[in-house]
Amino acid sequence: MSLIRRPPVARVLRVVGGRKEINMKTVSYLRVSTSDQDTAKNRAAVLEFAARMGFGKPRFTEEKVSGRVHWSKRKLGALIDGLKPGDVLITPELSRLGRSLIGVLEVLNEAKARGARVFSVKEGFQLNGDDMQSKIMSTLLALFADVERDLLVARVREGVHAARVKRGGVWGRPRGSRLDPFKKEIVEAYRGGATLAELGRRYGCAPGNVGVFLRQRGVRTRVHGWR
């Protein structure tokens, strides 16, 4: 039986205090939106960036999917879940992480919570670090994400308002009951001994609905089931 061997995780040796230590893995996420786009150019840029920054050769995760799909439902989600303290994630540019600033900010925060560093080739620096440049970037992203949330809320409210106007100002289930036109005869029949089951069959609805209809109109229903 043949075994499929996965390529070794890229690691970098460094010397600390005269001792050799192994940094954690370096990975890269490449995403394109359409089948006719190619990741070759981005791959070359990431390799050059990793070499210039002194990182090891990254392991690439590639997929062709829209950035509108939430990051946790893409291969990026599994990649983030597998990050460990000291790991490095390289992306060709910020927009490859997602189309939404809210989603991008979530990715950066999730990676930081795991102790991993995220770098963008296009931006040229760490996106979720503790240095001044990274903090400024995080602050701006958070600010724009708040604006994006406000715009989303505003669009939802506009949609609700438009729907209300279209429906004549009514929202939710229509008020009243289709039994209302027969209220008098239903009440009289029930008080005259007709059961909920009989009334339900007569007016084409469930006995329970007839009971609710009567109680909402001040009629006390009998205790014994659908009688």
Q: Where are the beta strands (DSSP E) in 51-87?
A: 59-64
How much is the pLDDT for 20? 45
pLDDT band, residue 84 (cuts 50/70/90): very high
Is residue 223 classed exposed, middle or buried when 0-12, 13-18 and 19+ CB atoms within 10 A define those classes?
exposed
Cβ neighbours of 124 (radius 10 Å): 11
Per the CB < 8 A criterion, the answer to whether 127 and 139 are in contact is no
Percentage of the chain beyond pLDDT 90 is 22
pLDDT surpassing 50 at residue 19: no
Over range 213-223, report the average pLDDT. 85
pLDDT category at 177 given cuts 50, 70, 90 is confident
Q: Of the candidates 62, 64, 68, 110, which has an alpha carbon nearest to the alpha carbon of residue 87?
A: 110
Token pair for 77: 């989600």
> Sorting pLDDT into bands at 50, 70 and 90, what band is 79?
very high
Rounded Cα–Cα distance for residues 67 and 100 (Å): 8
Distance CA 112, CA 106 (A): 10
Cα separation, 147 vs 167, whole angstroms: 30
The mean-pLDDT minimum among 25-34, 93-102, 179-188 falls in 93-102
d(CA 14, CA 20): 6
Neighbouring-strand partners of residue 88: 26, 117
Asked if 33 contacts 39 with a C-beta cutoff of 8 angstroms, the reply is no
- Name, in order, each residue with C-beta under 8 angstroms of 190's C-beta and a sequence gap of 6 or more: 196, 199, 210, 214, 219, 221
Yes or no: is domain 13-128 CATH 3.40.50.1390?
Answer: yes
Per-residue tokens: 27: 């990975």
Helical H segments across the chain, by residue range: 40-53, 75-81, 101-113, 132-166, 183-191, 196-203, 207-216
Range with the largest mean pLDDT of 83-87, 132-136, 179-183, 193-197: 83-87
